[in-house]
Amino acid sequence: MDRRQRKTRNAIFTAFSALLSKKTYTSITVQDIIDEADIGRSTFYAHFETKDELLKALCTDIFEHVFSEEVMSEEHHDFSHHSSFRDKVTHRLYHLKEQQQDIRGLFSGECGEVFLRYLKEYLYRVFYEHITAEDNIPHDYALDIAVSCFSETIRWWLKGQNGYTPEQVAGYYFDSIKIL
């Protein structure tokens, strides 16, 4: 993808995110997105066949950044020398917080369940190797509990105006799964 295509794609993502903060997913039309992004109809369809495909691409774009395996020192946090599962979770919470506006819109309304399904797909991959189960509990069950609890923790945190830090939220999550 060349620079011009990336710029157009970002304009579409930005327009879609802005619309999601104002309207429900089902009430947003492709024409709304085209108008908000200030692009032509053929330009939109050159990038996405449907609004649903756009939603999936936006989720993928967010999650590929948030769940990237490459950990580098960043301006607001540095987890490049941390390797514990708790540190990895906290690091991802920082990235989710950076995307809060987009994610808040995606969690709301009809697209919330679609967003949650995509989120859980990524979480399963990340959590799979880190979740261990007791002998009497199947691994897939323990994994489902850990992923469901974390996705709901994310929803609670990003939808609220609570001011909790990623470290605090990671602490709440790990304390919660201990008592389940």
Q: Looking up tokens 């304009």, which residue turns up?
A: 11
Q: Average pLDDT for consecutive 10-residue bins of the chain (180 residues)?
A: 90 92 89 97 96 92 80 53 77 87 79 88 91 85 94 90 90 86
* Cβ burial, residue 71 (10 Å; 0-12/13-18/19+): middle
Whole-number pLDDT of residue 76: 56
Whole-number pLDDT of residue 104: 82
Contacts of residue 89, defined as CB under 8 A and 6 or more positions apart, other chains included, come to: 150, 170, 173, 174
Structural domains in the chain? 3-49 (1.10.10.60), 70-179 (1.10.357.10)
Whole-number pLDDT of residue 1: 74
Whole-number pLDDT of residue 124: 94
Cα distance between residue 89 and residue 94, in whole Å: 9
Cα distance between residue 63 and residue 57, in whole Å: 10
Whole-number pLDDT of residue 111: 81
Q: Alpha-carbon dihedral of residues 30, 31, 34, 36, nearest 10 degrees? A: -110
